[in-house]
Amino acid sequence: MKQDISAEFQRRFPAVSAELGPENLSRLLDACTVVDIAPRRKLFRDRMPSESLYLVLEGEMAASVEEGSKTITVGRPIKPGDWLGEIAILSGEMLASSTVTTVTHCRALKIHFRDFENLVIHDEDISHVLLGQLIDLLAERLRGSNATAEKMSTQ
């Protein structure tokens, strides 16, 4: 089972896997739980407590926010290779920044914030890789948001 998850993780997160190497990847996976999520389930609710980080292995999800009585889809579809929950964990707020709903059956690795925190504090090799990847991810999302805002302002 662990070998299957390791192989799947390497396919979905090749950059993280390559940077971690086999031993560190094994330690990361030991801290994770595999979760299966049915279609049309809410994984997170905007501004509600969130205590885990998810690494998507299979399926598709959508992120949205509530604005008054409207639900607004944000960002692109969430697919295998994406991370979820990082803003709640890294900000320390432990509150979801959007509602995330599964579109199809999904499978993900779930790491509780305490286990993530433990790895970051006590395992320099894993910490360096995970935080570097998360910084890259957040920078990419910010650039995407800026491009979307710019496009909307010219319409």
Give Cα separations from 53 to 43, 86, 138 (angstroms).
Answer: 11, 6, 14
Tokens of 75: 């960002």
Q: Give the pLDDT of residue 155.
A: 61
Edge-to-edge strand order for the sheet containing 106-112?
Answer: 33-37, 106-112, 52-58, 83-84
Question: Residue 3's pLDDT is what?
Answer: 75
Mean pLDDT of the chain: 88
Token representation of residue 4: 């299957």
Token pair of 66 as six digits: 């509530």
DSSP 26: H
Annotation: CATH topology of 33-113: Jelly Rolls (2.60.120)
Q: Give the separation between CA 155 and CA 39, rounded to whole angstroms.
A: 35
Q: How confident is the model at residue 107 (pLDDT cuts 50, 70, 90)?
A: very high
Confidence category of residue 151, pLDDT binned at 50, 70, 90: low
Which tops the pLDDT comparison, 104 or 76? 104
Reported as a single tens digit per residue, the pLDDT across 47-102 is 899 999 999 999 999 999 888 888 888 888 999 999 998 888 888 889 898 899 99
Q: Name the residue among 87, 119, 111 with its Cα closest to residue 9.
A: 111
At 147 the pLDDT is 55
Q: CB burial class (10 A; 0-12, 13-18, 19+) of residue 81?
A: middle
Task: Please tell me the distance from the alpha carbon of residue 133 to that of residue 130, in angstroms, as a whole number.
Answer: 5
Task: Please tell me the predicted confidence (pLDDT) of residue 51.
Answer: 93
Domain assignments of the chain as residue spans, ordered by start:
1-31, 33-113
